[in-house]
Amino acid sequence: MLKKIIPFISIIFVSIYLPTYIYTKNVDKVLFFDVLPVLIVFCAISALVFTIFLLITKNVVKSSLSAIIFIIIITNYKLLEGAFNFLLPMLNYWHVLPIFLVVSLHIVYFIYIKTTNKVCEITINIICITIGSLVIFNFILAAPSIIKTVRLAITEADDKMYVDSQKANDSPNIYYLLLDEYSSFDVIEQYYNYDNTEFANWLEAQGFFVSYNSSNESSDTTTVVTNYVNLEYLVNDETSSSDKSYLRKNSKLVELMSLNGYKIIGLGDSMFIGIDSMTGGNGGGANTIEGLDFQQVVLNYSVIYPFIINESDSSLILDSFDYFNYKNNYADEQTFTVMYLVTPHEPFIFDENGGSVLPRNYNNWDDKEFYLGQYIYITKLIKQAVSKIIENDPNSIIVLQSDHSARFVNGIVANDRQKILNAVYYPSKDISKINAKSGVNTWRLVINQLFDMNLNIVEVDE
């Protein structure tokens, strides 16, 4: 029986060796749930390769040995290529991969024609014992860390329950989604001939009040966002960058929320307003210094590595939106979650379906498909995030804003650049006064409702 299953076990050991090695070396940083999809994909590919050989040869032992050779190349390609390039540095991917394939086919041919089943069985047994021992040994070495991580997770869950039971304030959680360069509904229609009414209708159906004609005092992000988070027109385009930076990082909005007992959570590029980001490399966990997550690291070793573009912005954007998919992130305590993302602002890294864009078009404003594609995809991500927030935290407040519209599209006039996305979800209150108000005044009206204050509508100081 054991003899029959050893070829299959060997294939599994070889296919999972690299992901499990990386996991066990980083067990305190990586969740097993992040590893699982990679293991499943690698095992599925291995099964496919094995099946192909089996269909051709009808020999289980020789097929498994042949499959193992190809699996080693598929999963560890970059390491093998690195060794190859060390000797022959002038060769590129398009040389090395065909060489590996041709050499592997020769070895496979040798296995089928010149090798007996007995020799193949012995070889597979050696591979199984060697690789299997390494996998098990790695897990044994990592066991204390795995146990510690599980215990920590249980303790955190207990702490969370304690916090929930101690909750003293019923103020709603607030989610502030700020998208850089997300065009207003009329700008996207006028300049890109794209009707985004379906999104506006969807927001209204969720309970948002959408202000269709909101506009700001400037189209400079540093000016607009500094004023947003200070709830008044403190700066203009003439103010120095360092003064604006200081004011953003010591903002009245964050101070007000903190004074009222709100816990501040940052996502994306929230460091721009002085808030550490859960997804921006300041507490996000399992990312490498280059911003790669576990799956990217493993795939970067595989044969598909040249097709992976390591654009750090894309993972930041996706990770930030992904934050809203996890139920654990909807604590009942008072939270003010600020997600600031430099998108659909250039670089245009997503097409409308979330596919990648050639780097040469990252800044292509001349061809409208690139900004528009990213705009459409980001709209989809906003819808998903908003759905999740409302599903998990229906009594919360959601402020959805941009700082300006597309600025570099051909022919856009200054006033149109300053138009924004401005929509607020405040289920228990009438927030229709935000209609036609700027971003700053929208926030003042939300604050008035939230803290029963009486902030006036402010005008830009001419």
Partner 1 sequence: MKIERIKLKAYAVFMLLFLLYLLFADRIILSKINNYTSSLYTIDFDEIKSNTDAYYSFEKLEILDGMFNQVYFVGWAYCETTMDNSNKKVYLVFKGDGIDYISDYSLAINRRPDVQLAFPDKKVFNARNHFTGEFSTIIMKNGSYDLYLYVEENEFNYGLVNTGKKFVKDYRGFRKYEPQIIENKPDIQICDSMKYSIDSNKSEGEFLAISGWAFIEGKESKNQYIYLEIKDVDGNKFTMETNQYQRLDVGTYFADDRYNTSGFSTNIPLNLISSDYTIRVIVENDGVFASE
Positions in the binding site for partner 1 (CB under 8 A): 82, 85-86, 89, 92-95, 98-99, 102, 220, 222, 237-238, 240-241, 289, 305-312, 346-347, 358-360, 362-365, 407-408
Q: Which residues partner with 402 through β-bridges?
A: 179
Question: What are all long-range contacts of 160-169, with beta carbons under 8 Å and residues at least 24 apart?
Answer: 160/328, 160/331, 163/331, 163/333, 164/331, 164/332, 164/333, 167/332, 167/333, 169/261, 169/334
CB of 143 to partner 1, least distance (A): 24
Give the nearest distance from C-beta 96 to partner 1 in angstroms.
10
Instruction: Give whichever of 2 and 289 is closer to partner 1, judged by the CB atom.
Output: 289
Task: Report, in Å, the least distance between residue 306 CB and partner 1.
Answer: 4
DSSP 360-373: GGTT--SSHHHHHH
Minimum CB separation of residue 241 from partner 1 in Å reads 6
Q: What share of the chain is helix, strand, coil (3-state, %, to 5)?
A: 60, 10, 30
Distance, CA of 253 to CA of 258 (rounded, Å)? 9
> Phi then psi for 267, rounded to 5 degrees?
-135, 150
What's the min distance (Å) between Cβ of 15 and partner 1?
24
Instruction: Locate 302 and state its tokens.
Output: 């595989």
Residue closer to partner 1 by CB (options 20, 221) is 221
Distance CA 254, CA 216 (A): 21
The strands making up 422-425's β-sheet, listed across from edge to edge, are 208-210, 422-425, 397-402, 174-179, 335-341, 263-268
Tell the smallest beta-carbon distance from residue 136 to partner 1 (Å): 29
* Least CB distance to partner 1 at residue 84 (A): 9
Nearer to partner 1, 92 or 395 (CB): 92
- Residue number, 82 or 144, with CB nearest to partner 1: 82
Q: Which residues contact 161 (CB under 8 A, 6 or more apart)?
A: none
Q: Which is nearer to partner 1, 230 or 287 (CB)?
A: 287
Nearer to partner 1, 115 or 364 (CB): 364
Which tokens is 228 given?
């947003």
Least Å from the CB of residue 94 to partner 1: 5
Shortest separation between residue 20's beta carbon and partner 1, angstroms: 23
Nearest to partner 1 of 93, 139 (CB atom): 93
Of the candidates 354, 292, 301, the one whose C-alpha atom is nearest the C-alpha of residue 42 is 301
Quick one: 183 or 422, whose CB is closer to partner 1? 183
Cα separation of 34 and 23, whole Å?
9
Q: Which is nearer to partner 1, 307 or 326 (CB)?
A: 307
Query: Residue 222's closest CA among 313, 340, 336, 337?
Result: 340
CB of residue 278 vs partner 1: minimum separation in angstroms?
17
Place of tokens 């598909």: 304
Region of residue 357 (phi > 0: left; psi between -120 and 50: alpha; otherwise: beta): beta
Q: C-alpha 389: how far from its chain's center?
A: 17
Q: Choose among 395, 399, 459: nearest CA to 428.
A: 395
Nearer to partner 1, 102 or 205 (CB): 102
CB 231 within 8 A of CB 440: yes
